[in-house]
Amino acid sequence: MVIIMLGAPASGKGSVAEILSKEFNIPAISSGDIFRKYISEGTEIGQRANSYMTKGQLVPDDLTVELITSRLKEDDVQNGLILDGFPRTVNQAKVLDEMLTKEGKKIDIVVNLETPEEEILERITNRMICTNSDCKAVYNTVLHPSKVEGICDKCGSPLYQRDDDKLEKAKNRLEVYHRETAPVADYYKETGALYSTVLSKSVNRMKDEVARDVINYLKNK
């Protein structure tokens, strides 16, 4: 099974992907986590990716595809996977289709999360992340704060705010998303794989309900 998660930054892709991962027993792979892993290791490819990410820009297609291609060859994804944050451009979507076709696989569903922009900015700018790379728990100082300010509930490590979660860079990320990534939904709509749904506190539809609907859709399909 191959599931693609689409949506603006902080729309809830990772949270829904985590639930789907447990339900279908397949790994959820975040392109951002892959980039940050290479960056933290100080690799040449990580430094190249970081030069774009620190500016709130998309990592170029050729560099992104190079990283994702390597990841898709690993043993744990051979029975299925959930991609969160890739593809981010129509060109990447076409390359992914070619990659999967060569492996005899296809995309089962593209989950497109729609969330109001003001709510997205609130989530991004109030997001705090555990510094422990083995934990990476995510909190929100307004919606989901840790019990002790600045400390992870799960492992006790300090929390931090990513540089690209600050307001100006968050706004820039949204502009880039609307310009570069939003058209990917139109691409998948034409293929018949798109499943658009709202994830927003304003209509009381959050991650658990959205994930349940996706699970039921896939099982019925």
Q: Which residues participate in catalysis according to the annotation?
A: 13, 88, 127, 162, 173
Report whether 139 contacts 127 (CB < 8 A). yes
Report whether 39 contacts 50 (CB < 8 A). yes
Pairwise CA distance, residues 159 & 147, whole Å: 12
Pairwise CA distance, residues 73 & 170, whole Å: 32
* CB count in 10 Å sphere of residue 212: 12
Amino acid letter, residue 157: S
